[in-house]
Amino acid sequence: MPEVTEREKILYFTHAKFITEGFYKTTMDEIARDLQISKKTIYKHFESKEDLLGSVCDARIEMIHKFMDDIVDSDEDSITKFLRILNKQKSMSMNCSVTWFKDLQVHAPHLAKKFDEVRSNKVTNMLVKLLEQGKRENMIEDVPNDILITAINGAMEAVTKADFILNSKYSFHEAMRITAEIFFNGFLTPLGRDKYSNTKKLFDNALQ
């Protein structure tokens, strides 16, 4: 294992502190005190609190990119990859507080936008690859990718907003997991699916 540098030590600690406590009310004095170093040492590596926050977000985005690439490029089937991504997301989001998300939205919207861009670009590209793989494996229905991806991204964005998490009984990961399961399994029981199929045929015939 390579030795952790002074800058990395500050970055790793601050990342953990910000996602669990938020960053808006966290001061550089607190960070220095908790790390048992001087503020001068922090400023040697980061020009300001804003610079430190930006570096924390960049490091988090880099982690997201790496774990997605590692999973998507593996030799596993598409369903296993989907589940591994959800489990990795769970481990990464387990300690994320609502305060972290609200602070991003209210006090650093430009950084919140960077995470949105990860969802719209990186996650979309990942979904395209896994959907195509799943279709080749006959594990995913041959539905239009653009409609499915737009629906998934829209649902995920809605249920992971800070306001939704704050006012619901679900954690960030639980909201993502339940939404993903709805897409994977649908929300109809076998009886409901049969009823839907038979009733749809009646409606379709009536329109002919």
129-161 pLDDT, tens digit each:
999 999 999 998 888 999 999 998 889 888 877
Distance (Å) of CA 7 to CA 13, 97, 130, 196 = 10, 24, 36, 58
Q: How far is CA 76 from CA 34, 71, 81, 177, in A?
A: 42, 8, 6, 20
Whole-angstrom Cα distance, residue 71 to residue 67?
6
Per-residue confidence (pLDDT) for residue 188, from 0 to 100? 81
Q: Work out the number of other CB atoms within 10 angstroms of the CB of residue 12.
A: 13
Per-residue pLDDT for 62 more than 70? yes
Q: Which fold has domain 6-187?
A: Tetracycline Repressor; domain 2 (1.10.357)
Which residues neighbour 22 within 8 Å (Cβ) at sequence distance 6 or greater? Answer: 97, 99, 100, 102, 103
* Mean predicted confidence (pLDDT) in 189-207: 84
Q: How far is it, in rounded angstroms, from Cα 15 to Cα 17? A: 5
This prediction has a pTM of: 0.84
The two structure tokens encoding residue 4: 């952790």
Q: Name every residue whose Cβ is closer than 8 Å to that of residue 13 and which is 6 or more positions away in sequence.
A: 31, 34, 35
Name the pLDDT band for 98 (thresholds 50, 70, 90). confident
pLDDT at 2: 64
Question: Buried (b) or exposed (e) across 192-208, using 16+ Cβ within 10 A?
Answer: eeeeeeeeeeeeeeeee
Structure tokens at 8: 């990395």
Q: At residue 6, does pLDDT exceed 60?
A: yes
